[in-house]
Structure 1
């Protein structure tokens, strides 16, 4: 199995077992080793008291992109530290896309930026995640 096939197989398995990403309605658009592009629609039940999407929704989309990208090499990777900067409000009806950029990948640590954009291709958030790469393999 080549690296691209492995990446897709890992993410397919992860997504099948990920009830929260399924509830969010995440669609996997593209997967390659170290790269994930995901999309989801913002629904009314995702808003907070200000009638904008709860920040945790955008964070969760980016966190799923981090998980899929960092695990796509076949080794189990778990988040160590994440942070997010919100730039624009997100409202019901928006379609968000999260796209990863692998900044560094080592034997034990990986660092990623995840840009989250809306359907107008405006950046709504920037997420940075650091993962610990375990010795465990997905397959």
Structure 2
């Protein structure tokens, strides 16, 4: 990632502004750096499944959003091509979650991310997410994410 922090922040701000799903999740940007992003969100009652715990898709979506914002700070539009997740602990209504995405390795077109999702109250790891992204030939501009 070679763009300045200001450019990266502008790309991500535009993405967040156009990302209705991340807004519905209630994600809040905590920090952004080249190849890294930290998001925070609260788990609401409408995110709970039939077992009275957060639906796995909610936690996956938080991790995916953290990776998306981390990988799109550069000049190229970057998209996920493969993701996996493990859930070592349950998440409940009222839990505040913090997702930290970090680029571990990259090539000219691919980058590999690790995202750790923790529960704020006890710092427990509730999800471990791995993702691969592809840097497209499309460039970010001032009007599109």
Range into which the TM-score falls when normalised by the shorter chain: over 0.9
**Structure 1 stretches of 4+ moved >3 Å:** none
Cα RMSD, aligned residues only: 0.8
- Tell me the residue number matched to 1:39: 40
Corresponding residue for residue 132 of structure 1: 134
Corresponding residue pairs, total: 138
Query: Once the 2 structures are TM-superposed, how far is the Cα of residue 33 of structure 1 from its aligned partner?
Result: 1.3
* More moved, 37-46 vs 69-78: 69-78
Unpaired stretches in structure 1, ≥5 consecutive residues: none
Residue in 1 that maps onto 2:57: 56
Instruction: Give yes or no for contact 2:63–2:129 (8 Å, CA) kept in 1.
Output: yes
Counterpart-to-counterpart distance in 1, 2:106 and 2:73: 12
Deviation string, structure 1 residues 92-125 (Cα, Å, up to 9, x no partner): 0000000012111221001000000001211101
TM-score (norm 1): 0.97
2:79 paired with 1:82:
no
Query: What is the CA distance between 1:74 and its match in structure 2?
Result: 2.5
Alpha-carbon deviation of 1:73?
1.1
TM-score calculated relative to the size of structure 2: 0.93
Cα distance in 2 between the residues matched to 1:93 and 1:31: 25
